């Protein structure tokens, strides 16, 4: 299983495909203090990434792959992540 | 049949695509007649949509792209956002022709040549151009971020600039070092379409593997919805990528999604954006002056340590340090580059004092920094005249000003009051810079100094009051575009980003939401038709033919049972069984004929388009009337009729119908009328093509035929009008003065006649000079069963097709007269030449007479002449399944084929035209 759910912690491993997106969404909806561990993740399908972005998931471990981390970290770090985002003045 | 594709799915697609294209063409023409008919429009839209959906099953972006554009355009027409016009129809027809070409290509090679991509792009572009402009840009995914695109000379539209400031400084510096020598650097704005997950796309994956990737980020063009409203399978994120790959590499990589990516070239200098906190001190004037002096003197050896020392003395996160790092980065490029870009470097040095990043996009910076590597791109950037503010920018501007006003209006005096005043002053300075009035900035500095010393807001407020209404209001409409360096400014990036994403939100076609609903509609629309390979039907046909023949053996059997074995009982039972089998076999034969029957609309449906195209090309106006489209005939007949009919219609349009001016001058309506009518007459189908054009002048035909040596002088004198007109069917005759690409090469009507005769049909032509021409083609309903009359001659049986039989008579031997060497007889007041069948077939026997000394004469029609065949006797007429003669026998031209009789004997069918 690329995604393993334990109480409030999801561990994403290897290549997380689009099939996981629905499950991930459901789990994030039902888990208030959800945390995600991406350390062993090698790729995250856009659909899953999008779910995690919308959920402002709390990432406890970033991927080992620096390249993937560089993609995910700005997108998944909640708060002032994007200077280019449209915000009210 | 064509070599059929190996993949059954593909085969089905091609067959469906063919049908859809036919109906799209038809509907487009119908729409031209009735542009307001919503029903046709909906049908048309659905057809295009279905075809697009089908093409999406395969990876043919070239085809899908064109269809997608067509669908969008029709969607707009349907919703009233675009108008239906002839031009629009032209483009759509052309696009469908292109799709047709692609289908053919797929059919033969199972792939589309990559070279088609450009054609596809231009065709789709042509369609998009017809859309109302604002929607077109939105739909095409033109995010408007193409400011720096070298490929688009028109890139200096009032657009947005690339948010290069969001790229980390280290990445930008690396990219700059990589590209300053002129290597390509591209910014990609990748907006995957919403349904991309359904196509198996993983945009993040393709972004990660983009060639030459230097940097990238994920972003949500619109804020993502709350979790419970989130549609997992609708892609809502986009990507910004910075890459050093070549444009070709990128085009290849994004071959399948050209409408989802915006690739813009980036001039290396645009990367030079100092960023950082602005509260540190600026470099003093002395430093800048000194640095500029060293630069002018090309004293790089001293300049570099000088700048480095300054950098060491400033805080790493400050704006100044960032600018200094960039300065060092530029300086390390080497003397030649610096020599070419002195102006750029000095602009950066000047900015150290002003804290205002150089505006690389301004004409001043560009013309002076005219390095070869930058010039082509920078030209695109330069906006020679100030661009008016966009709606969004104006709102942002007002908002910022109002914000400053609010801050200044605050009455409290917190500990950070000084900082607050400085912040306001900085914002105002930047606004002034945007407005192109740096002179105003000095006023701000003075006001700030006064405010700081007095600890009150009033001086700044006073400046605002004094300038806002006068100066800012006047520049607001004629504001030069913000500089690239403004990414560092505290307020402007927000404003720019706002506009960028505003545009992108319009990218998704508005009808996206109802896609699934439409699919459901498509499903109920399909007719309940089974598609069967023709070979299977043919086989069934042959089997039934054999059944009919073997069934016919039963009466012989019954007769033998009675005559040879004397069992009448059995004979009677066999006969009654035969009656039952006979009935069933007849019905089966009838049923299978029905299966093979096709409506003539199969050929007719191509005429509206053809007539429209040709008449427009010739500048004629033609009203086409199709009648009896539902008339049916055997598939083979219908198919072999297609080419002759096209020929005839072309001839009518080219030679027959006159131009509107000529017609009006002759008192005819300006629009010519072309009627194509199919009717069934007995067991024959008659197709008439009538035009009300100028008709055929027998005199002209005769002269032409004489000139070409087809007839001699004597014939010229003797020939009647109808006969002359029939000369048009002779090979090598063309009446057109000029050979056009339509007709006039003299290979027209003779080909028509031979094609029609090949399927046992006849062609007749009537023409009235000045009134029009009618061509009448008569064809058998089916070629499967031929009615023949069985005749006997020298104890052999022969079949004569009933089409040729005029009548059967018995003539007393005494009534036969011999004129010179030929025998003749007077039948119903006409002299009919007589020939013995035995002589014609080379049988050495004279025709037998009956007991009354009468000869059997079969009167046949051979071409336009009648002839009496002297034979021994007549038998019954019967329906036979005629088989062509194969192999060595095929050279026997006297026989057109053979058929099996019920008793197992072979009946040879005479080819009357050949033997007489």
ipTM of predicted assembly, 2 dp: 0.84
- Per the CATH hierarchy, to which homologous superfamily does domain B8-139 belong? HPT domain (1.20.120.160)
CATH architecture of A3-76: 2-Layer Sandwich (3.30)
Q: Tell me the CB-side half-sphere exposure of residue B31, using CA atoms within 13 A.
A: 27
pLDDT band at B2 (very low <50, low <70, confident <90, very high): very low
Could you tell me if B399 lies within 8 Å of chain A, comparing CB atoms?
Answer: yes
* Of B192, B219, B236, Cβ closest to residue A84: B219
Confidence (pLDDT) at B12: 79
Distance CA B767, CA B696 (A): 6
**Pick from B237, B491, B493: which is nearest to A84 by CB?**
B493
* Torsion angle, alpha carbons of B179, B180, B183, B185, to 10: 50
pLDDT of res. B580: 93
Q: What is the pLDDT of residue B362?
A: 57
Nearest CA-CA distance, residue A55 and chain B, Å:
6
Q: How far is A61 from chain B (nearest CA, A)?
A: 19
The SS3 assignment for B576 reads helix
Q: How far is A25 from chain B (nearest CA, A)?
A: 7
The secondary structure element, H or E, covering residue A68 is: helix A66-76
Q: Determine, for residues A89 and B230 on separate chains, whether the beta-carbon distance falls below 8 Å.
A: no
pTM: 0.42
What average pLDDT does range B554-574 have in this prediction? 88
Contact B219/A50, CB-based, under 8 Å? no
| pLDDT exceeds cutoff 50 at B154 | no
CA–CA min distance B219, chain A (Å): 7
B224 touches chain A (CB under 8 A): yes
Q: Which of A21, A85, A89 sits opposite B232 (nearest CB)?
A: A21
By CA distance, what is A47's nearest residue in B?
A: B232
Q: In the predicted model, is pLDDT for residue B799 greater than 90?
A: yes
Q: Which of A50, A55, A68 should we substitute to test contact with B (largest number of B Cβ atoms within 10 Å)?
A: A50
For residues B9 and B57, the answer to whether their CB atoms sit within 8 Å is yes
Partner-chain contact B497 A84, CB within 8 Å: yes
Q: Quick check: B380 pLDDT over 50?
A: no
* Dihedral class, residue B332 (left if φ above 0, else alpha if ψ from -120 to 50, else beta): alpha
> Which pLDDT score, from 0 to 100, does residue A1 have?
61
Minimum-distance CB partner of B204 among A46, A55, A83: A46
Q: Give the range with max mean pLDDT: B76-90, B529-543, B764-778.
A: B764-778
Contact status, residue B184 vs residue B244, Cβ threshold 8 Å: yes
Candidates 3.40.120, 1.10.10, 3.30.70, 1.10.1740; CATH matching B153-270 = 3.30.70
Give the mean pLDDT of chain A: 78
Of B166, B204, B396, the CB nearest to A84: B166
The CA distances from residue B721 to B725, B765, B866, in Å, are 6, 12, 20
Q: What is the mean pLDDT of residues B338-345?
A: 75
Contact of A29 with chain B, judged by CB distance below 8 Å, is answered with yes
B218 touches A: beta carbon within 8 Å = yes
| Average pLDDT estimate for A81-89 | 38
Which of B239 and B552 is assigned the larger pLDDT? B239
Pairing between β-strand A35-44 and β-strand A58-61 as defined by DSSP bridges: parallel
Q: How confident is the model at residue B41 (pLDDT cuts 50, 70, 90)?
A: confident
Q: Closest residue of A to B163, CA-based?
A: A84
**Which pLDDT belongs to residue B688?**
92
Q: What is the pLDDT of residue B5?
A: 54
Task: Flag the least confident range among A45-59, B459-473, B815-829.
Answer: B459-473
Q: Is the pLDDT of residue B479 over 80?
A: no
pLDDT at B502: 40
Enumerate the residues of chain B whose CB falls inside 8 A of the CB of residue A26: none
More confident residue, B290 or B659: B659
Residues of A in contact with B491 (CB under 8 A): 89
Closest CA to B383 of B362, B360, B364, B369: B362
pLDDT at B791: 92
pLDDT at res. B269: 75
Question: Per-residue confidence at B482, pLDDT binned at 50, 70, 90?
Answer: very low
**Looking at chain B, which residue has its C-alpha nearest residue A20?**
B232
Cβ-defined contact of A46 to B237 (cutoff 8 Å): yes
Inter-chain touch B165–A18, beta carbons under 8 Å:
no
Smallest CA-to-CA distance from B859 within B845, B874, B849, B847 is with B874
A80/B contact by beta carbon, under 8 A: no
Contact flag B494-A74 (C-beta cutoff 8 Å)? no
Inter-chain touch A47–B233, beta carbons under 8 Å: yes
Residue B564 has pLDDT above 70, yes or no: yes
Contact B224 A46 (CB under 8 A): no
Residue B470: pLDDT band (50, 70, 90) is very low
Predicted confidence (pLDDT) at residue B374 exceeds the cutoff of 60: no
Q: Mutating which of B218, B241, B394, B487 best tests the A interface, going by the most A Cβ atoms within 10 A?
A: B218
Could you tell me which chain A residue has the CA closest to the CA of B237?
A50
| pLDDT at residue B390, rounded to an integer | 64
Crossing angle of helices B568-596/B534-551, nearest 10°? 160
Question: Which residues from A are below 8 Å from B219, CB to CB?
Answer: 75, 82, 84-85
Residue A40 forms contact with B (CB below 8 Å): no
B207-220, pLDDT tens digit by residue? 888 888 888 888 87
Q: Do A84 and B227 touch (CB under 8 A)?
A: no
Q: How many interchain CB pairs under 8 A, A with B?
A: 101
**Cα distances (Å, whole numbers) of residue B55 to B51, B141, B174, B275:** 6, 21, 43, 48
Give the CA distances from residue B458 to residues A39, A43, B454, B466, B468, in Å, rounded to whole numbers and listed in that order.
56, 57, 9, 12, 15
Give the pLDDT score at B213: 83
Q: What is the mean pLDDT of residues B768-789?
A: 83
Q: How far is A23 from chain B (nearest CA, A)?
A: 10
CB contact under 8 A, A46 and B163: no
* Least CB–CB distance from A71: residue in B204, B225, B500: B204
8 Å CB contact between B396 and B454: no
Nearest to B692 by CA among B604, B792, B594, B621: B621
Distances (CA, A) of A30 to A34, B225, B579: 9, 17, 79
CA distance B448 to B786: 108
Residue B456, pLDDT > 90, answer: no
The token pair at B717 is 């004198």
β-bridge mates for residue B862, sequence order: B865
Distance from CA of A87 to the nearest CA of B (A): 7
- pLDDT at residue B391 is higher than 80: no
pLDDT (mean) for B364-382: 39
Tokens 């009717």 appear where? B679
Q: Are B95 and B64 in contact (CB under 8 A)?
A: no
In angstroms, the separation between the Cα of residue B176 and the nearest Cα of chain A is 20
pLDDT band (50, 70, 90) for residue B511: very low
**CATH code, B785-915:** 2.40.50.180
Q: Mean pLDDT across the stretch B265-289?
A: 75
**What is the rounded CA–CA span in Å between residue B13 and residue B1?**
16
- Which CATH code is given to the segment(s) B600-780? 3.30.565.10
Q: Which residues of A touch B399 (CB under 8 A)?
A: 89
pLDDT of residue A86: 36
B205 shares contact with chain A (CB less than 8 Å): yes
Q: Which residues contact B369 (CB under 8 A, 6 or more apart)?
A: B269, B341, B342, B343, B344, B347, B360, B378
Q: What is the pLDDT of residue B577?
A: 92
* pLDDT grade for B361, boundaries at 50, 70 and 90: low
CA torsion B25-B31-B37-B38 (nearest 10°) is: 40
Tokens at B69, concatenated: 């554009």
Mean pLDDT value across chain B: 76
At B581, is the pLDDT very low, low, confident or very high (cuts 50, 70, 90)?
A: very high
Taking CB atoms and an 8 Å cutoff, what residues of chain A touch B241? none
Both tokens of residue B643?
């080419």
Neighbours of B260 (CB within 10 A): 21
B619 versus B487: which is more confidently predicted? B619
**Confidence band, pLDDT 50/70/90 cuts, at residue B437:** low
**Which residues on adjacent β-strands are paired with residue B811?**
B855
The rounded distance, in Å, linking the Cα atoms of A59 and A76 is 8
Between B611 and B882, the more confident residue is B611
Residue B883 has pLDDT above 60, yes or no: yes
- The pLDDT of residue B441 is 62
By the CB < 8 Å criterion, does B236 face chain A? yes
CB-CB under 8 Å, A75 with B235? no
Q: Rounded mean pLDDT of B408-432?
A: 78
Give the one of A43, A51, A74 whose C-beta lies nearest to B232's C-beta.
A51
Q: How far from B198 is each of A47, B48, B140, B193, B234, CA to CA, in Å?
A: 11, 20, 20, 10, 9
Residue B434: pLDDT band with limits 50, 70, 90: low
All residues of chain A having their beta carbon less than 8 Å from the beta carbon of residue B202 are: 18, 45-46
Selected residue with higher pLDDT from B499 and B816: B816
For chain A, what are the domain ranges?
3-76
CA distances from A70 to B13, B411, B469 (A): 43, 45, 46
% of chain B at pLDDT higher than 90: 6
Contact assignment for A54 to B227 by CB distance below 8 Å: yes
Lowest mean pLDDT among B533-537, B562-566, B689-693, B701-705: B701-705
């Amino acid at each position: 299983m690329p995604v393993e759910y334990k109480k409030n912690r999801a561990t994403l491993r290897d290549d997380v495909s689009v099939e996981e997106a629905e499950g991930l969404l459901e789990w994030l909806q039902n888990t208030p203090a959800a945390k995600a561990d991406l350390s062993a993740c090698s790729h995250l399908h856009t659909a899953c990434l999008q779910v995690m972005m919308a959920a402002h998931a709390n990432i406890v471990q970033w991927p080992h792959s620096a390249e993937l981390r560089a993609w995910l970290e700005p997108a998944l770090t909640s708060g002032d992540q994007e200077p280019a985002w449209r915000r009210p003045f | 049949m064509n070599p059929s594709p190996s993949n059954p799915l593909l085969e089905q697609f091609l067959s469906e695509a063919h049908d859809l294209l036919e109906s799209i063409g038809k509907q487009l023409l119908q729409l031209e007649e009735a542009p307001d008919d919503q029903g046709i429009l909906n049908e048309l839209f659905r057809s295009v949509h279905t075809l697009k959906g089908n093409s999406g099953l395969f990876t043919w972006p070239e085809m899908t792209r064109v269809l997608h554009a067509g669908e969008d355009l029709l969607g707009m027409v349907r919703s009233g956002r675009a108008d239906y016009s002839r031009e629009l129809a032209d483009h759509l027809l052309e696009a469908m022709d292109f799709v047709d070409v692609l289908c053919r290509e797929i059919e033969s090679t199972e792939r589309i040549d990559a070279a088609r991509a450009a054609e596809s792009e231009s065709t789709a572009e042509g369609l998009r151009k017809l859309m109302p402009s604002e929607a077109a840009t939105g739909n095409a995914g033109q995010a408007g971020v193409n400011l720096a695109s070298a490929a688009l000379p028109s890139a200096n539209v009032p657009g947005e600039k690339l948010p290069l400031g969001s790229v980390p400084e280290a990445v930008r510096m690396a990219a700059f070092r990589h590209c300053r020598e002129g290597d390509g650097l591209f910014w990609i704005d990748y907006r995957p379409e919403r349904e991309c997950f359904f196509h198996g796309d993983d945009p993040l994956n393709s972004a990660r593997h983009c060639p030459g990737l230097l940097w990238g980020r994920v972003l949500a063009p619109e804020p993502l919805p709350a979790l419970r409203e989130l549609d997992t399978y609708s892609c809502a994120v986009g990507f910004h990528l910075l890459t050093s790959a070549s444009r070709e590499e990128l085009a290849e990589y994004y071959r399948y999604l050209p409408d989802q990516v915006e690739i813009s070239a980036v001039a290396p200098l645009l990367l030079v954006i100092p960023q950082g906190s602005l509260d540190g001190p600026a470099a003093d004037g002395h430093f800048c002056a000194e640095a500029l002096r060293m630069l002018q003197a090309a004293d790089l050896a001293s300049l570099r340590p000088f700048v480095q020392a300054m950098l060491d003395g400033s805080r790493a996160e400050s704006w100044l340090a960032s600018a200094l790092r960039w300065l060092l980065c530029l300086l390390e490029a080497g003397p030649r580059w610096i020599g070419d870009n002195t102006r750029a470097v000095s602009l950066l040095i000047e900015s150290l004092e002003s804290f205002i990043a150089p505006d690389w996009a301004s004409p001043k910076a560009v013309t002076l920094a005219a390095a070869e590597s930058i010039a082509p791109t920078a030209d695109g950037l330069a906006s020679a005249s100030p661009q008016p503010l966009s709606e969004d920018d104006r709102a942002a501007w007002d908002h910022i000003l109002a914000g400053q006003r609010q801050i200044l209006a605050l009455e409290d005096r917190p500990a950070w009051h000084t900082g607050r005043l400085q912040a306001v002053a900085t914002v105002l300075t930047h606004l002034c810079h945007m407005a192109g009035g740096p002179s105003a900035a000095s006023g701000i500095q003075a006001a700030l100094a006064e405010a700081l010393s007095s600890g009150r807001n009033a001086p700044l407020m006073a400046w605002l009051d004094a300038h806002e209404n006068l100066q800012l209001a006047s520049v607001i409409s004629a504001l030069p575009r913000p500089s690239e360096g403004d990414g560092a400014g505290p307020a402007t990036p927000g404003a720019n980003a706002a506009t960028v994403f505003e545009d992108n939100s319009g990218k998704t076609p508005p009808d996206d939401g109802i896609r699934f609903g439409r699919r459901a509609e498509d499903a109920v629309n399909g007719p309940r038709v089974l598609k069967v390979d023709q070979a299977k039907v043919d086989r069934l046909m042959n089997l039934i033919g054999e059944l009919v023949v073997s069934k016919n053996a039963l009466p012989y059997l019954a007769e033998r049972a009675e005559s040879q074995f004397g069992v009448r009982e059995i004979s009677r039972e066999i006969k009654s069984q035969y009656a039952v089998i006979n009935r069933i076999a007849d019905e089966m034969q009838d049923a299978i004929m029905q299966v093979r029957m096709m409506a003539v609309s199969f050929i007719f449906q191509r005429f509206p388009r053809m007539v429209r195209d040709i008449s427009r090309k010739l500048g004629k106006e033609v009203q086409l009337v199709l009648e009896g489209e539902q008339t049916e005939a055997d598939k083979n007949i219908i198919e072999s009729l297609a080419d002759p009919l096209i020929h005839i219609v072309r001839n009518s349009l080219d030679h027959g119908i006159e131009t509107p001016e000529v017609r009006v001058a002759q008192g005819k309506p300006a629009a010519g009328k072309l009627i194509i009518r199919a009717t069934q007459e007995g067991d024959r189908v008659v197709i008439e093509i009538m035009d009300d054009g100028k008709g055929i002048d027998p005199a002209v035909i005769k002269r032409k035929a004489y000139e070409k040596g087809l007839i001699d002088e004597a014939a010229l004198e003797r020939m009647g009008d109808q006969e002359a007109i029939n000369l048009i069917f002779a090979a090598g005759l063309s009446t057109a003065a000029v050979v056009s690409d339509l007709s006039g090469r003299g290979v027209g009507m003779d080909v028509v006649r031979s094609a029609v005769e090949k399927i046992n049909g006849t062609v007749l032509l009537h023409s009235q000079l000045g009134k029009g021409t009618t061509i009448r083609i008569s064809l058998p309903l089916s070629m499967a069963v031929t009615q023949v009359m069985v005749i006997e001659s020298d104890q052999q049986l022969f079949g004569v097709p009933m089409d040729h039989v005029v009548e059967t008579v018995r003539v007393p031997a005494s009534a036969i007269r011999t004129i010179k060497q030929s025998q003749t007889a007077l039948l119903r007041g006409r002299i009919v030449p007589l020939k013995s069948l035995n002589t014609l077939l080379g049988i050495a026997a004279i025709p037998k007479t009956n007991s009354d000394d009468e000869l059997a004469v079969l009167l046949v029609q051979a071409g336009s002449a009648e002839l009496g065949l002297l034979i021994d006797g007549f038998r019954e007429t019967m329906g036979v399944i005629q088989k062509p003669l194969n192999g060595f026998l095929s050279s026997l031209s006297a026989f057109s084929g053979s058929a099996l009789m019920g008793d197992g004997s072979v009946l040879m069918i005479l080819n009357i035209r050949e033997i007489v």
